[in-house]
Amino acid sequence: MLEEDIEIQGKRFRLYFQNRYTILSLVVDLLTGFFYIIGSIAALAPIPDRIGLYFYLIGSIFLTIRPILRIIKNIFVYDDWKESSK
């Protein structure tokens, strides 16, 4: 198991996820979809328009989070000074 992997131990089963950033990205995608669906339903329902706009805004924020997670996943930091002193 690597450091970036997630393992959830249950009573009978074990869930193993290979990369926490992949899981986070999928959760963000699901939440984005839910917020846009709720925003669409709120736009059709006889409730104040402001509520639907808030859900669309939250969905837009989650759309922005996804590429940020991909950037974080693909950044690697190497300490050249530490490597050269070995």
pLDDT grade, residue 86 (50/70/90)? low
9: pLDDT strictly greater than 70: yes
Query: Each residue of 16-68: pLDDT tens digit?
Result: 766 677 777 788 889 889 888 988 888 888 888 888 889 889 989 988 888 88
Residue 51's alpha-carbon distances to 5, 34, 57, 60, 76, in angstroms, are 37, 14, 10, 14, 40
Gap between the Cα atoms of 45 and 55, Å rounded:
14
Confirm whether pTM is higher than 0.85: no
What are the residue ranges spanned by the domains of the chain? 29-75
Q: What is the pLDDT of residue 37?
A: 92
Q: What is the pLDDT of residue 49?
A: 83
